[in-house]
């Protein structure tokens, strides 16, 4: 396995609170993490400067098709709307199985739906390698009784979900009750059984990079198979600096424990160019071992159509009209 990059934008600190001037928004003072979890102070300027450099990387024409295919294969094709129907979920699954007409196009990694649509998605995707992911634990707020959240997780897995995307209690985290957040993640992991657990940090509500780093470390220690940026329901959602902080946490966790954890960037990634930037970030921070659907995902809906537009342009030299691609 390729070893993660040695570049870093964070350092350890004895202060268990979030650093001032760290990331957008007001700082939140956080309590002590569970025993053995070091407090980290993130250099905000360094992380933002390094993240900006990833966006200036260019991809040569001969490498673009491989980059488009890689991005397509890592998509969690998502519909999480109050007006979702079995028909919409079925169309989404058909698109996941065959994003476009070109046989060189890979399938997406997974579809992500609400728990009530899991069984229907499993039926449509039967016999394929496209996985079914579902949000649970009172998504998107996480504000419900723990026994209700755990029961929802178990029932969703019983319905056929391969992967569970849970949300942490951001209120508890920001109040400094890290032990409670840790215990709830661990309990959800147990409720998942054989299903993989993605832990959504909702970084747009964590306010500082220090908090993002602490939440990332906390989730991995508690048993997360993936850490995920956002629900996609608030702004900002996924950003390059936040993903860099999370990727560096994953790298450091791997070095310390030998345990590989995945990363899912979700929310606001709509163009092929943005997807390429994230692939560069993953490659340069974590290495080629993470550049697979097993370890990196992009949660998106409209991104697939832009990947298809760019794919067609490589063949024809011009863009097709968006009307030739489905909106589901």
Residues carrying an active site annotation: 165, 228, 264
> How many other CB atoms sit within 10 Å of the CB of residue 203?
30
Nearest Cα residue to 189 out of 223, 157, 231, 166: 223
Q: Helix or strand or coil: residue 152?
A: helix
The Cα–Cα gap between 304 and 325 comes to 9
The Cα–Cα gap between 154 and 100 comes to 34
The Cα–Cα gap between 313 and 307 comes to 10
| Residue that has been written with the tokens 């936040």 in this structure | 242
Within 8 A by CB and 6+ apart from 94, the residues are 124
| Residue spans of alpha helices (H) in the chain | 44-54, 61-73, 86-97, 118-125, 146-158, 170-174, 178-192, 209-222, 240-257, 272-285, 303-316
DSSP string, 202-265: -GGGT-SHHHHHHHHHHHHHHT-SEEE---SSSSS---HHHHHHHHHHHHHHHHHH----EEEE
């Amino acid at each position: 396995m390729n070893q993660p990059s040695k570049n870093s934008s964070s350092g350890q600190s004895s202060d268990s609170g979030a650093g001032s001037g760290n990331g957008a928004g007001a700082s939140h003072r956080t309590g002590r993490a569970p025993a053995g979890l070091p407090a980290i102070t993130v250099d905000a300027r360094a992380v933002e400067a390094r993240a900006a450099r990833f966006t200036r990387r260019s991809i040569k024409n001969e490498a673009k098709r491989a980059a488009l295919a890689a991005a397509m294969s890592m998509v969690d094709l998502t519909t999480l709307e109050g007006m979702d129907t079995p028909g919409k979920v079925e169309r989404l699954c058909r698109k996941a199985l065959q994003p476009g007409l070109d046989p060189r196009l890979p399938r997406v990694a997974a579809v992500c739906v609400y728990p009530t649509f899991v069984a229907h998605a499993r039926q449509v995707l039967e016999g394929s390698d496209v996985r079914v992911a579902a949000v649970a634990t009172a998504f998107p707020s996480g504000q419900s009784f723990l026994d209700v959240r755990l029961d929802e997780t178990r029932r969703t897995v019983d319905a056929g979900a391969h992967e569970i995307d849970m949300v942490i209690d951001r209120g508890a985290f920001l109040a400094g009750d890290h032990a409670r957040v840790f215990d709830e993640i661990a309990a959800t992991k147990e409720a998942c059984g054989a299903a993989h657990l993605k832990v959504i940090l909702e970084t747009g509500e964590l306010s500082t990079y220090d908090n993002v780093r602490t939440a990332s470390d906390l989730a991995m220690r508690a048993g997360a198979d993936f850490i995920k940026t956002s629900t996609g329901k608030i702004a900002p959602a996924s950003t390059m600096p936040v993903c860099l902080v999370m990727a560096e946490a994953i790298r450091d966790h791997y070095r310390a424990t030998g345990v590989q954890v995945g990363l899912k960037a979700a929310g606001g990634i709509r163009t092929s160019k943005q997807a390429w930037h994230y692939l560069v970030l993953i490659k340069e921070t974590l290495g080629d071992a993470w550049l697979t659907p097993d370890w990196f995902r992009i949660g998106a809906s409209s991104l697939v159509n832009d990947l298809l537009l760019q794919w067609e342009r490589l063949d024809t030299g011009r863009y097709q009209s968006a009307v030739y691609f489905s909106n589901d």
